Amino acid sequence: MDGLKKEGTGTSDQKSIIIKYLTAAAVLALLIFLLELFLFNFRHWQSVNNVPFTPEYIPSDNLTAEDVNAFRVTSSEETPYVEINDLDLALENMAIDITFPEKGVTAVEAVTYHLEVTDEGNVNRYALPAVEFMHLVPQSHFNYLDLYGKAKSVRICFDSMEEGDLFRIEYLNFNSIVPLMISKKRMLALFLFLYLLYILRPDGILHGHKASERTALKYACVAALIVAEAAVVWWGVHANQAFLDPQTDGELQFAHLAEALAEGKPYLLIEPPDALRNMEDPYDFVERMRLCSGEEKALWDTAYYNGHYYVYFGVAPVITYYLPYYLLTGNHIRTVTVVFINALLILIAVPLLLGEGIRRWFKDIPLSVYLMLTAMTSFGTGLLYLIMKADFYSVPLAMALALCYFGLYFWLRSIRDDRIDPLMLGLGSFCMAMEAAVRPQFLLASFLAILLFFTPVFKKRLLFSAKGMRETAAFVLPYLCIAAAVMYYNHIRFGSVFDFGANYNLTNNNMPYRGFRLDRLLNAVAGFLFMPCSFTNRFPYFGLSAFETTYQGPTGDEILLGGTIYIHFYLIITLFPFLFRKIIAKKELYIYTLIAPVAAVIVMIVDANMAGVIMRYNADFSWYLMLSFVIIFCSVTGRLSYSTEAAPSGKTSAPELYDGLLKAVYWLLLILFAFFVIRGFLLMFTGDGNPKLNLKLIWYTVRHLVEFWH
């Protein structure tokens, strides 16, 4: 495989390699600085010869002057505005700065405004698209104009101003000289992203090291990856102000359950209103909303049974996080903290799981490929959405994903050539069994034990045999203990060991009548996998899509940011695993790729019937497909690598052909990884499609750093 020898794998002098990469970093840094100076600040150079003009303006009738250039909105019947007449001036830009004296000059306040102008081409006033301004984002102060010749009049209409608002126009200029606004954040982000791609490229230094080798370089790279991912997660869970300080009892139900369990009660200590108690059918959404309003309002998305509120979500998050914290401190742990901890566990578990799989089945996978697949698996299974919506709904999903990854890792780790490690086996079974107390949908993953332990059970008799009693106990006992605990918990709440309480949920469905319908299958598959998101030509370019269906029955579907395969289009290959039958050498891996889409569809059907097609539920099944993609990709590269080395000596073109194909596949992964990072970055700012939910200052700052032309 001479054509694919990588840096650092031969006899190259290490000093020259270091010099090479330092030189590349310096060249890249210089290039980015030049881009920042001349491209990203091209508005400065475009306006350097401008002659600034400060106009006089006339306020609308519903603006009352209270100070110099300070106005209060006295009526919201019409949009307040200021108007400039008799211009006869070619306008290239407008600069405006607005503050709010009663809120503080640094108030994080976004102002939406639009211009209505007349010019040489229009004697009648016409409106331009609305734009947003924020005092703390200097780039947003400038609005670049392209009118029909010279402007005659300009009206600045403040769309977002409300009655009673007091604002001050600090300055209003036309044809300003736009200052140089060098952004260190933009330069750093571009440098890190491009230099990362440079390092990970198929000719890069990391590509010459095998991921299966336990080297200091590998551990350093994995640690750096986890730290970088953890920083993204930390920012994500804290970026949405709406989830940092939840207000309603429904949002705080895990905290309320901790208080109840501390009192020895399985139900919440909040008393339901009499209106709810007196309802003939409390699960009738429309009637409940009519009768239970104001102080009589019922809790949302909690289970109601025999006069008490219950939490129908799994109790494990409360036992693991909320209750111990409450007993130790008397306070409640924040939900965003719990989401972060679980997300961090996912970031640790994924490289462990993939690393163990690579050591077992794909020993020749390069370190760079392993790192990219790890990042794509960590964030490509719904985690990104969970951290950007870090509410109590994300808690069980994130915890279930972490337990699943750790469970599969411990199971794999337990398998040795001639024995089973009972400790690793027991830890794996504990993690997988805990899913019953977190999110029961993940219990389906326990059946993967049949694949993993087929040889130890049926060929080597290391489990479920006389010589494997200790190992068998390690596998079975966690399931029995946790099942007994969950059944007891269900029994004391709802009188049935198998009743988790979903049918008593106070939501927009009447759950006792919703039922299980296979007719919802098409809704589930189409929505969860293939539903497209909407596109706009404004940051962050992705928006929500309403789920539309002709299904004649209750669905409970929500708006989405796109199905799993639509977002991660490369997962489409996991729906056709039979195409790779001759490539996937290990039988157990091929069988997994066959059952992965089936298992995913089963979970989709369950989710669609229990609640609907909801974006966060992608985390329930997308990991099946992501692991299948990893298996297929590693199998393809492994086969090409083997073909390169084992090609017949008489066919001189064969090694070069396989060598070129292998390199093309690695480059394809790098391109997919780059797309994955860019798409993920944009989706983080999409959130629920509503920028007002996100911290406004961050949202608008990043928007203008990306859209440098605005």
pLDDT digits (tens, 9 = 90+) for 620-659: 999 999 999 999 999 999 888 866 655 555 444 567 787 8
Do 322 and 341 sit in the same domain of this protein? no
Cβ count within 10 A of residue 658: 22
Inside any domain, residue 597: yes
* List of the chain residues with pLDDT < 70: 1-13, 105-107, 247-250, 554, 559, 642-654, 687-695
């208080």: which residue's tokens? 259
- Nearest CA among 204, 234, 235, 233 for reference residue 217: 204
* CATH number for the domain harbouring residue 110: 2.60.120.260
- For 254-300, the DSSP string reads HHHHHHHHHTT-SS-SSPPPHHHHT-S-TT-HHHHHHHS-GGGPPPT
Residue 96 lies in a domain: yes
| Nearest CA-CA partner of 115 in 83, 76, 75, 73 | 83
Are residues 507 and 402 both part of a single domain? yes
Residue the block writes with tokens 């044809």: 175
pLDDT the model gives residue 640: 87
First to last CA, the chain: 50
In a domain, 472, yes or no: no
Same domain, 78 and 111: yes
Flag whether 507 is in a domain: yes
Does residue 605 sit in the same domain as residue 694? yes
Instruction: Report the pLDDT value the prediction gives residue 5, as an integer from 0 to 100.
Output: 43
Question: Do 608 and 585 share a structural domain?
Answer: yes
Residue 367 structural domain: 213-241+335-414+501-706
Q: Does 166 lie in the same domain as 25?
A: no
Residues 684, 575 share a domain: yes
Domains in the chain: how many in total? 4
Of 292, 311, 329, which one is at a domain's C-terminal end?
A: 329
Q: H helices of 292-445, where?
A: 316-317, 323-329, 335-361, 367-379, 383-388, 394-414, 422-433
Q: Are residues 300 and 351 in the same domain?
A: no
Q: Is residue 445 part of a domain?
A: no
Q: Of 274, 303, 329, which residue constitutes the final position of a domain?
A: 329
Structure tokens at 247: 């207000």
Query: Does residue 348 lie within any of the structural domains?
Result: yes
Domain end, chosen from 304, 329, 354, is at: 329
Are 324 and 340 within one domain?
no
Whether 217 is in a domain gets the answer: yes
Residues 388 and 512 in one domain: yes
Asked if residue 484 belongs to a domain, the reply is no
Q: Are residues 340 and 324 in the same domain?
A: no
Q: CA–CA separation, 326 vs 23, rounded Å?
A: 54
Question: Strands, E, within 454-539: which ranges?
Answer: 534-535
- DSSP 3-state of 37: helix
Residues 316 and 351 in one domain: no
Nearest by Cα to 621 from 447, 353, 376, 401:
401
